[in-house]
């Protein structure tokens, strides 16, 4: 219900997403969307709090906030739009840029391994995880519904196209149609990927629902329980 929903967005191309919905929304500083969302959820735990972040916003400058939100298992849905590069600032290297890729800040190729967000979030303690590309819009819609209803920290990674920088420099596919075809052709369902080795999965995008746990207490419940306990003793 839109009256019980708040959108928070960070800096980057994904920051515009909340403006297209009929909900209350607030724009945060770069990398600080999750602390702001955490404050909203703790103050108003009945609200659905949804955070839109890019890959740089969430995994670089906001990386610590991301892992601690997962560690706490706070009831927030993080939608992370991953185009594998810093696009809004001109095509710089990001923590999600594939190795050996060329960007404005890696003109001789990227020698840093990129994050696997699903593995990172699983290790940190998130309780719902899914990844889809923008090609898989039906599956993405279904996972977003599940993520928002989930009681705990949920992360949906959306592999998104950026023809201007990722397409032109990393994939050498500046035509958006070729880019979308590449995402379709290089996506592997999680169940299929489990039977493949690391070499076979190189350069592929593994998509699906990676995790759904209901065995951890949501953080705002613990927070308000602690407050009530303190009030009794005061």
Per the structure, how many domains does the chain have?
A: 1
For the entire predicted model, the pTM comes to 0.95
What is the C-alpha separation between 101 and 53, in angstroms, rounded?
22
Task: Report the CATH number that the domain containing residue 153 is assigned in CATH.
Answer: 3.40.50.970
CB 127 within 8 A of CB 211: yes
| Amino acid 177: pLDDT | 94
pLDDT at residue number 233: 81
First-last CA distance in the chain: 37
Phi-psi region of 58 (alpha: psi -120 to 50; beta: other; left: phi over 0): alpha
Residues of the chain with pLDDT under 50: none
CA dist 56 and 77 (Å) reads 17
pLDDT of residue 221: 98
What does the pLDDT read at residue 21? 92
Which residues make beta-bridge pairs with 6?
A: 24, 49
pLDDT in the model for residue 6: 98
What's the pLDDT at 155?
99
The reported pLDDT for the residue numbered 65 is 98
Q: What is the pLDDT of residue 2?
A: 84
Q: Which residues constitute the domain of residue 162?
A: 2-233
Residue 173 DSSP symbol = -
pLDDT of res. 1: 76
49: β partners: 6, 76
C-alpha dist (Å) from residue 73 to 38, 68, 115, 159, 218: 11, 8, 21, 23, 6
């Amino acid at each position: 219900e839109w009256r019980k929903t708040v959108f928070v967005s960070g800096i980057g191309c994904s920051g515009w997403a909340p403006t297209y919905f009929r909900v209350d929304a607030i724009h945060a500083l770069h990398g600080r969307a999750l602390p702001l969302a955490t404050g909203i959820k703790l103050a108003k735990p009945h609200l659905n709090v949804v955070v839109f972040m890019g890959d740089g916003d969430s995994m670089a400058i906001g990386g610590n906030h991301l892992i601690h939100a997962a560690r706490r298992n706070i009831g927030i849905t993080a939608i992370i739009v991953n185009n594998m590069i810093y696009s809004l600032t001109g095509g710089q290297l990001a923590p999600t840029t594939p190795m050996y890729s060329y960007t404005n800040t890696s003109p001789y190729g990227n020698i840093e391994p990129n994050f696997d967000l699903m593995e990172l979030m699983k290790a940190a303690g998130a309780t719902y995880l899914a990844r889809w590309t923008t090609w898989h819009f039906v599956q993405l819609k279904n996972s977003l519904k599940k993520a928002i209803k989930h009681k705990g920290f949920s992360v949906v990674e959306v592999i998104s196209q950026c023809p201007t920088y990722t397409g032109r420099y990393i994939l050498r596919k500046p035509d958006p149609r070729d880019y979308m075809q590449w995402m379709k052709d290089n996506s592997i369902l999680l169940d299929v990927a489990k039977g493949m080795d690391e070499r076979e999965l190189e350069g592929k995008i593994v998509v699906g629902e990676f995790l759904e746990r209901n065995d951890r207490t949501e953080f705002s419940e613990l927070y308000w329980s602690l407050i009530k306990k303190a009030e009794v003793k005061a």
